[in-house]
């Protein structure tokens, strides 16, 4: 790619970004779009959004989006700090050194716009030149800065997590344990077995229990009822707003429809009621939520194995009652094992299929190859603008578009694996997405060739650095373009393009409008991997092509403002893991650093400076030791609370009225929402929160 | 190797075995050797040892050697069962099939004694023959049998472990927790900090604590005192038995020596006393043994993190007071980290050095090569007996001899790593030895060539089965000879050759006699890996060369009788881990099975039966799943006791007088033996157990 192509791409994306921001600023206060741009608030906020986003404090974010929201914003803060330092080093030191090297004299096409951006990469420095020691020092410096910031952030967030726990009001999940694999002998109900066991071994702290029931069939019925009820309320709302009645294909009038839906709803609810009265007595699952009188009592039941047979009476943290993923309980232990295996195979297949697609997209950056594949396009491709568009822009757009479908597939996979909570599902999906993103976007583009051939590099570990040192710089232009394109994609988060279309369409189509009372929740599992990918790109290209750094920095700055706005106006937190997403961010950054080291070792080898390559060898080892230290120092805080915290908190609240209040609700807190009485048909006009909102 | 060479080797080893057994049977009742052959008993047992070994029940073994002794014997029981089944399959089905194949017609030298033992191996079966399906079925059958027996043993031993806990008398280690990394602010002693913390957070169960002190210098002084005291008692014993006084080099008479030693001992003891009175006040280490009123209380302190900062107040199980490895506490956290790294490098170096030696020994099985290396031996080597001796016997002897030095090195390595207990050190050394043995004996002999080239096979995982399928059968003769030689080595355990020589020498040399009052303890860390190696050899050669199976079976039968005898008469248990060695045996057997599968897959590939190779692929997967299941089902039992057991046991003993008794001793149970008052000089004639016996 030459400099002018890059400029075209930057210009185009900048224009699009500004356009989107302008559109957002205009639309967000218009009444019909408030539902899209501020679903959390019934009104359009008056102050300018950028200023508001800037002014908000972390406490505000904590109050609005929970600790997970804070962690999400800290990812941007952390990344901005890292890449500000990196950009200073890169643009101030490395870029000039690269540009004034003369290794690549033959591709220097004269005037500035026609210069290849390779002239700004390390490839342009003379082999064996002493200037390479500047690059060497830069690697050490950026690693040091990043590790210092990582330590600082981990400490800060784990402190936040402890504060959050100490200041939280009493919550059911602190006092409750999920017990699974309860052994039941004939003639004894699960409830009796639980009662007997915990009265025996936890007599002083045991409070109550809720047995889980098989409710798959009931859930399907309720789902149907819920759908029909939504349609009914939509129809009613239209009627009361005085819209004229239209006949659907001339067959049914609105009143016919109303009557039909009403009838079906009543039938369904009758069925549900019958099922409910049966279910409580019949299909118990050998799992129960057991509540204790103190947090420490619950911790005792979780961390000390309960039964002599380790496969029985298995205990784990209970999730927030609203966070429980109920359908999961219907699956047996064996089904979960099989599902895990299936999910593993499916994830691998997904990556392989995706790699095929990437291999094609990859080809677009080389015009000649494209012309060879699609000869009829030759005339068009020879136009300068088109060729710059195609090489600089199109591949990234395709990649962005395809990637947007993967998160929901990964979430589906995680659901199949059998987590007990929505937050657990999303954290697992986040890890899957991360692996998928790093593999299909970074490695697949670097290690060109067929999917199977890509794996070959790992069979010859000694060769990895030198191979990467050749392959990574070759893709610099592609990734710079990719980062630039991402500006548009992160700004389109602001304009909520998909929701906007949905809203506009919903206006026309009957009965398919999204339920307006439900604000969307933040899709951490798809956003975090996407954000972290740019950290990997920035660090991997730090010494190879420092030109990428300012673009990455701009991306993070945009993201910082946009998401601070979105967390306030658009997304409602669905759960609060208490910052459990941070360890994922930490380990991904460590991974990115090690990738940087490996590439640097390879590059110094290729550049005939073997001493520098050898002197870099301790760096990945030290980085991994640092990671190990952090794992010992901070990770346990994210896994569980300590005796110290638990007992302090228990003592503090011992005599508070909230505790007595909580204890009285604990008995019913974990009852399956499918078993709660329904009340659609009787008051279908009233705007109640749908029963399944928490499922 | 031809059949007659094998017969020579078998004959020779059988003769040696019988000779050693005869020597033992004769010597063991002679008074001077009772000290060697029955150090645990003051008298020579009257009954014939073989009959006694046979007759003893498992309860007897448990009483005499603890649960570890039972586990050790169960290794033989398990192996005998597996290889009895394997031998029936191998000799009854596979061996005839192999022998009546005709792939290797050209190496069939006519009469039986000259037949190559390769004729009994799978190499002799026609490529692509349907008879190979018998081998295929045999692999499935033996895997099934082994897994069934593994499950059965794991269940049996974990049951034993639970019984052992439930029936044990109250022991200090059940009520005690080792706390490390105690944060101490200025002006507060470690003891006060511990007291404050546990009174605050474990008020109802906290009992007492013992702070650990820095005693390195003291320990060295005590060691010196102990050595001199041993010499003194030896001299005194000689004088009282009326042996004439001899002058050492004509310089010192016995009385001069006596006086000199007495003087030095008094000086040393004075020093020790001074150090002791200082040490109690000065050098505290931020670690303490904290005792609780109940087992469940101690478990609470271990399994729930104590402090908000995970690097402080770290808790773990306290070992038995006699099992504590005191010198360890002197090392700091940083020293331990460095030591771990050094140990890792040292272990790798040890394996590399050893591999060089093995490469030489390896050459001995090929006479031509030896003649080439050492041409002056040609005349001797051409004698039939010598050549058979050299090819069939010498290499194994050298390997056995060298291997005998490694366990103590590995134990030294584990000591450096910083375990708090002797049992921990020996279990870690056992794992190290296992890796060492499998690598240097099995893989190094199979993958001939330089140490570095051996690793190459692992860089090309797809080729491993076919490479092993070529290399493993080539070494069949070597390993058959190795197993046969091992008969002698296991029988020499019975005659205690080293101890016997030591005893005989001790009679002549002054002052270097081993302390007779101390019975040796069972070296599990060197014996278990050695025994498990034969399991690996037997399974790896199961389909390739079934001729090895009866020899392995004989080895295990010999071992069964010999060790049942030794555990009663020779070894005194130094510690009791409660069967924690079994998981090592389990996982090693799983590893051996997977090696068998990989070899089998390679062999069927080479033998042009690709269908059989493909149909074997699920077998290693199933075996590993089985292993995973066992890890979930049984392993936690070996890691910790359950709430159920702990509370039951606590309740049972609540009001027993033993508990009150134990509580009164707990305060001093974990005081460093180096800080106890000494009493050598005053009563040096009295036969007391040396102070350092438990260190």
**What is this model's ipTM?**
0.82
In a mutational test of the B interface, the residue from A163, A198, A205, A310 whose CB has the highest number of chain B CBs within 10 Å is A310
Check: CB of residue B97 under 8 Å from CB of residue B134. yes
CA dist., res. B287 & res. B183, Å (int): 10
Q: What is the pLDDT of residue A689?
A: 38
Q: Is B340 on the interface with A (CB under 8 A)?
A: no
The listed range with the strongest mean pLDDT (B255-269, B322-336, B354-368, B438-452) is B255-269
- List pLDDT tens digits, range A194-207: 999 999 999 999 99
CA dist., res. A233 & res. A223, Å (int): 15
Place of tokens 């088109």: A386
> Across the interface, do A162 and B305 touch by the CB < 8 Å criterion?
no
CA dist., res. B131 & res. B97, Å (int): 7
Residues in chain B, total: 695
Check: CB of residue B182 under 8 Å from CB of residue B232. no
Instruction: Name which of A458, A589, A650 is nearest A146 in CA terms.
Output: A589
Assign 3-class secondary structure to B325-367. Answer: CHHHHHCCHHHHHHHHHHHHHHHHHHHHHHHHHHHHHHHCCCH
Q: What is the pLDDT of residue A620?
A: 93
Give residue A687's pLDDT band: very low, low, confident or very high (50, 70, 90): very low
In angstroms, what separates the C-alpha of B299 from chain A's closest C-alpha? Answer: 7
B461 contacts in A (CB within 8 Å)?
459
Task: Please check the confidence at residue A246 and state whether its pLDDT lies above 70.
Answer: no
Strands (E), B129-248: 176-180, 206-213
Q: Which of A354-363, A376-385, A647-656, B513-522 has the lowest mean pLDDT?
A: B513-522
Check: CB of residue A624 under 8 Å from CB of residue A145. no
Q: Which of A668-672, B11-15, B325-329 has the lowest mean pLDDT?
A: B325-329
Q: Which of A491-505, B300-314, B639-653 has the lowest mean pLDDT?
A: A491-505
Q: Checking DSSP bridges between strand A314-317 and strand A284-292, what pairing results, if any?
A: unpaired
A641 contacts in B (CB within 8 Å)?
305
Residues whose CB is less than 8 angstroms from the CB of residue A624 and which lie 6 or more positions away in sequence, other chains included: A590, A594
Cα separations in angstroms, B323 against A685, B71, B422, B580: 75, 19, 5, 15
Task: Please check the confidence at residue B406 and state whether its pLDDT lies above 70.
Answer: yes
Task: Please check the confidence at residue B41 and state whether its pLDDT lies above 80.
Answer: no
Q: Is B203 on the interface with A (CB under 8 A)?
A: no
CA dist., res. A360 & res. A398, Å (int): 10
Residue B128 in 3-state DSSP? Answer: coil
- For residue B306, what is the nearest residue in chain A, using CA coordinates? A643
Q: What is the pLDDT of residue B693?
A: 36
DSSP string across B164-185:
HHHHSPP-HHHHEEEEES----
Q: Which of B204-208, B277-281, B528-532, B600-604 has the lowest mean pLDDT?
A: B277-281
Q: Which of A57-71, A99-113, B577-591 has the lowest mean pLDDT?
A: A99-113
Q: What is the pLDDT of residue B366?
A: 62
Give the count of Cβ contacts less than 8 A between chain A and B. Answer: 90
Percent of chain B with pLDDT over 90: 31
CA dist., res. A582 & res. A588, Å (int): 10
CA dist., res. A489 & res. A400, Å (int): 8
Task: Please check the confidence at residue A269 and state whether its pLDDT lies above 90.
Answer: no
A298 contacts in B (CB within 8 Å)?
none
Q: What is the pLDDT of residue B469?
A: 85
Arithmetic mean of pLDDT, A339-360: 80
Residues whose CB is less than 8 angstroms from the CB of residue A161 and which lie 6 or more positions away in sequence, other chains included: A67, A578, A579, A637, A638
* Contacts for A196-201: CB closer than 8 Å, 24+ residues apart: A197/A306, A197/A313, A198/A290, A198/A301, A200/B647, A201/A306, A201/B643, A201/B644, A201/B647
Please list the residues that pair with A208 across neighbouring strands. A291
Arithmetic mean of pLDDT, B433-458: 74
> Across the interface, do B305 and A647 touch by the CB < 8 Å criterion?
no
Q: Which of A652-656, B235-239, B585-589 has the lowest mean pLDDT?
A: B235-239
Arithmetic mean of pLDDT, B342-355: 83
Residues 123-162 of A with CB under 8 A from B: 162
Give chain A's mean pLDDT.
Answer: 82
In a mutational test of the B interface, the residue from A309, A333, A344 whose CB has the highest number of chain B CBs within 10 Å is A309
A305 contacts in B (CB within 8 Å)?
636, 640-643
Check: CB of residue B632 under 8 Å from CB of residue B262. no
Give residue B88's pLDDT band: very low, low, confident or very high (50, 70, 90): very high
- List pLDDT tens digits, range B609-645: 899 999 999 999 899 989 988 988 899 999 889 999 9
Of residues A618 and A397, more confidence is placed in A618
Of residues A3 and A16, more confidence is placed in A16
- Residue of A305, A632, A634 with shortest CB distance to B643: A305
Handedness of CA B685, B688, B693, B695 (dihedral sign): negative
Q: What is the pLDDT of residue B266?
A: 83
- For residue A457, what is the nearest residue in chain B, using CA coordinates? B459
Of residues A472 and B81, more confidence is placed in B81
Q: Which of A248-257, A425-434, A527-536, B366-375 has the lowest mean pLDDT?
A: A248-257
Token readout for B17 is: 């075995």
Q: Is A642 on the interface with B (CB under 8 A)?
A: yes
Q: Which helix (H) or strand (E) holds A431?
A: helix A422-437
Residues in chain A, total: 695
Q: What is the pLDDT of residue B243?
A: 58
Handedness of CA A352, A353, A356, A360 (dihedral sign): negative
Task: Please check the confidence at residue A33 and state whether its pLDDT lies above 70.
Answer: yes
Check: CB of residue B598 under 8 Å from CB of residue B543. no
Arithmetic mean of pLDDT, A136-142: 95
Task: Please check the confidence at residue B695 and state whether its pLDDT lies above 80.
Answer: no
Give residue B144's pLDDT band: very low, low, confident or very high (50, 70, 90): very high
Token readout for A337 is: 């094992």
pTM to 2 decimal places: 0.83
- Residue of B303, B304, B647 with shortest CB distance to A201: B647
CA dist., res. A619 & res. A596, Å (int): 10
Give chain B's mean pLDDT.
Answer: 82
Arithmetic mean of pLDDT, B508-532: 71
Assign 3-class secondary structure to A167-178. Answer: HCCCCHHHHEEE
Arithmetic mean of pLDDT, B469-477: 85
Secondary-structure breakdown of chain A: helix, strand, coil percentages, each rounded to the nearest 5 = 70, 5, 25
Of residues A512 and B88, more confidence is placed in B88
Instruction: Name which of A395, A581, A599 is nearest A479 in CA terms.
Output: A395
Residue A101 in 3-state DSSP? Answer: coil
Provide the terminal-to-terminal Cα distance of chain A, rounded to the nearest Å.
Answer: 49
Give residue B510's pLDDT band: very low, low, confident or very high (50, 70, 90): very low
> Across the interface, do B310 and A634 touch by the CB < 8 Å criterion?
yes
Give residue B687's pLDDT band: very low, low, confident or very high (50, 70, 90): very low
Is residue B498 left, alpha or beta, with left meaning phi > 0 and alpha meaning psi from -120 to 50?
alpha
Provide the terminal-to-terminal Cα distance of chain B, rounded to the nearest Å.
Answer: 49
- For residue A628, what is the nearest residue in chain B, using CA coordinates? B337
Q: What is the pLDDT of residue A429?
A: 92
Arithmetic mean of pLDDT, B69-92: 95
Helix ranges restricted to H, B252-332: 254-279, 295-303
Give residue B511's pLDDT band: very low, low, confident or very high (50, 70, 90): very low
Task: Please check the confidence at residue B285 and state whether its pLDDT lies above 90.
Answer: no
Token readout for B42 is: 């003051």
Of residues B54 and A534, more confidence is placed in A534
A632 contacts in B (CB within 8 Å)?
310-311
Instruction: Name which of B262, B197, B192 is nearest B229 in CA terms.
Output: B262
Task: Please check the confidence at residue A605 and state whether its pLDDT lies above 60.
Answer: yes
Give residue A511's pLDDT band: very low, low, confident or very high (50, 70, 90): very low
- List pLDDT tens digits, range A453-485: 666 666 677 778 888 888 888 888 889 988 998
Task: Please check the confidence at residue A280 and state whether its pLDDT lies above 70.
Answer: no
Arithmetic mean of pLDDT, A75-98: 94
Cα separations in angstroms, A249 against A238, A277, B428: 18, 41, 79
Instruction: Name which of B256, B419, B236, B406 is nearest B325 in CA terms.
Output: B419
Check: CB of residue A655 under 8 Å from CB of residue B213. no
CA dist., res. B430 & res. B411, Å (int): 8
Q: What is the pLDDT of residue A244?
A: 58
- List pLDDT tens digits, range A184-194: 888 888 889 99
**DSSP character at residue B41:** S
- List pLDDT tens digits, range B539-598: 999 999 999 999 999 999 999 999 998 888 888 888 888 899 999 999 999 999 999 999
In angstroms, what separates the C-alpha of B104 from chain A's closest C-alpha? Answer: 36
Residue B206 in 3-state DSSP? Answer: strand
Give residue A686's pLDDT band: very low, low, confident or very high (50, 70, 90): very low
Q: What are phi and psi of A286, to 5 degrees?
A: -70, 55
Place of tokens 């491993």: B464
- Residue of A310, A637, A643 with shortest CB distance to B201: A643
Of residues A608 and A499, more confidence is placed in A608
B644 contacts in A (CB within 8 Å)?
201, 306-308
- Give all strands of the β-sheet with B176-180 in edge-to-edge order: B206-213, B284-292, B176-180, B314-317
Task: Please check the confidence at residue A538 and state whether its pLDDT lies above 90.
Answer: yes
């Amino acid at each position: 790619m030459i400099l002018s192509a890059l400029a075209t791409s930057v210009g185009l994306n900048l224009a699009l970004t500004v356009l989107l921001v302008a559109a957002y600023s205009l639309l967000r206060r218009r009444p019909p779009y408030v539902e899209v741009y501020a679903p959390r608030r019934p009104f359009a906020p008056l102050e300018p959004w950028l200023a508001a986003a800037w002014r908000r404090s972390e406490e505000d974010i904590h109050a609005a989006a929970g600790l997970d929201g804070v962690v999400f914003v800290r990812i941007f803060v952390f990344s901005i700090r890292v890449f500000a330092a990196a950009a200073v080093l890169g643009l101030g030191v490395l870029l000039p050194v690269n540009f004034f090297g003369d290794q690549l004299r033959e591709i220097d096409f004269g005037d500035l716009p026609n210069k290849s951006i390779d002239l700004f990469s390390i490839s342009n420095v003379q082999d064996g030149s002493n200037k390479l020691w500047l690059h060497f020092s830069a690697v050490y410096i950026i690693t040091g800065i990043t590790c210092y910031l990582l330590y600082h952030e981990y400490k800060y967030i784990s402190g936040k997590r402890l504060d959050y726990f100490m200041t939280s009001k009493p919550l059911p999940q602190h006092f409750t344990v999920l017990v699974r694999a309860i052994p039941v002998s004939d003639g004894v109900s699960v409830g009796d077995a639980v009662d007997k066991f915990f009265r025996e071994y936890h007599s002083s702290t045991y409070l109550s229990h809720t047995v889980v029931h098989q409710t798959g069939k009931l859930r399907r019925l309720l789902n149907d009822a819920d759908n029909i009820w939504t349609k009914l309320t939509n129809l009613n709302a239209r009627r009361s707003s005085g819209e004229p009645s239209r006949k659907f294909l001339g067959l049914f009038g609105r009143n016919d429809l109303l009557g039909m839906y009403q009838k079906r709803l009543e039938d369904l609810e009758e069925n549900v009621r019958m099922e409910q009265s049966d279910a409580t007595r019949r299909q118990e699952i050998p799992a129960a939520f057991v509540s204790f009188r103190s947090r420490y009592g619950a911790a005792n039941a979780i961390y000390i194995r309960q039964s002599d047979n380790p496969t029985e009476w298995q205990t784990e943290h209970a999730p927030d009652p609203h966070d429980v993923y109920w359908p999961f309980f219907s699956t047996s232990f064996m089904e979960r094992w099989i599902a895990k295996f299936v999910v593993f195979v499916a994830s691998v297949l997904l990556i392989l299929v995706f790699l095929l697609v990437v291999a094609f997209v990859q080809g677009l950056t080389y015009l000649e190859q494209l012309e060879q594949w699609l000869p009829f396009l030759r005339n068009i491709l020879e136009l300068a603008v088109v060729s710059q568009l195609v090489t600089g822009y199109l591949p990234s757009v395709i990649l962005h578009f395809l990637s947007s479908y993967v998160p929901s597939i990964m979430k589906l996979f995680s659901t199949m694996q059998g987590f007990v909570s929505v937050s657990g599902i999303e954290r697992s999906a986040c890890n899957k997405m991360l692996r998928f993103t790093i593999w299909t976007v970074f490695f697949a583009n670097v290690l060109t060739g067929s999917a199977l051939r890509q794996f070959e590099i790992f069979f010859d570990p000694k060769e990895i650095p030198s191979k990467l040192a050749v392959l990574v710089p070759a893709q610099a232009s592609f990734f710079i373009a990719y980062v630039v394109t991402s500006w548009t994609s992160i700004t389109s988060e602001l304009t909520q393009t998909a929701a906007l279309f949905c809203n506009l369409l919903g206006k026309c189509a009957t009965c398919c409008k999204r339920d307006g009372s439900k604000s969307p929740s933040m899709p951490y599992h798809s956003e975090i991997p996407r954000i972290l990918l740019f950290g990997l790109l920035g660090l991997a290209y730090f010494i190879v092509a420092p030109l990428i750094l300012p673009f990455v920095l701009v991306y993070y700055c945009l993201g910082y403002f946009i998401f601070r706005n979105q967390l306030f106006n658009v997304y409602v937190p669905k759960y609060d893991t208490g910052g459990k997403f941070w360890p994922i961010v930490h380990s991904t950054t460590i991974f990115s650093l090690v990738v940087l080291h490996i590439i640097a070792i390879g590059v110094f080898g290729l550049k005939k400076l073997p001493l520098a390559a050898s002197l870099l060898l301790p760096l990945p080892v030290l980085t991994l030791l640092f990671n190990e230290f952090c794992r010992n120092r901070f990770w346990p805080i994210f896994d569980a609370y300590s005796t110290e915290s638990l007992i302090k908190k228990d003592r503090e609240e011992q005599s508070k009225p909230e505790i007595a209040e909580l204890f009285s609700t604990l008995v019913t807190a974990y009852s399956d929402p499918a078993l709660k009485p329904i009340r659609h048909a009787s008051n279908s006009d009233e705007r109640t929160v749908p029963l399944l909102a928490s499922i």
